[in-house]
Amino acid sequence: MVATDELRQFFERARQQGKIRAWGVSQDAGLEVDFARAFAPEGVSQLRSDLLNPSPRPADLAFGVLERLYAVLSGGLLADAWLAGYWRKVLQIDPLAPGVLTRLILGLAASATGCRAILYSTTDPRRVAEAARTVSSPLDAEILTRFRALVEEFREEAAA
């Protein structure tokens, strides 16, 4: 294992030489230990986080905000017609309509994870377009508030 000071010096030297703009720690496992703390405030911290599985502490960036959550929510809604109807009624839009669930998740991701930004990566042009539409034309704040409450209900019922 590389010593923290040695790693910090390496990245700081690369940043000062203009080889990189920023550096940090991306942590997907072992969240009981805060590896990023040793590199603060220079290092950027990244944690996997989503509405159903929020990270145990805030980070600068959240990653993994869409895929796992989308699979769980869409699977649950597709499997339960009553639940899908209930969500349509509460949201006043169909969460299973093309692009809607993605826009709901991405629209709420940054504020719900407590991070300054979300890292969203894809090579699928349709998903890039959906993300761009979410940023350029966000859904109504009231819809996002109702969506967040529905996800909380979903999480509580899944945990029970």
64 and 39 together in one domain = no
What is the pTM (predicted TM-score) of this model? 0.72
Residues 66 and 38 in one domain: no
Distance CA 79, CA 74 (A): 8
Contact 153, 73 (CB under 8 A): no
Angle at 108 between CA 80 and CA 57, to 5 degrees: 105
Q: What is the pLDDT of residues 11-65, one digit of tens each?
A: 788 888 988 877 766 666 665 666 666 666 666 777 777 778 777 777 777 777 7
Cβ–Cβ < 8 Å for 62, 118: yes
Give the structural domain span for 33: 1-44
Number of domains, the chain: 2
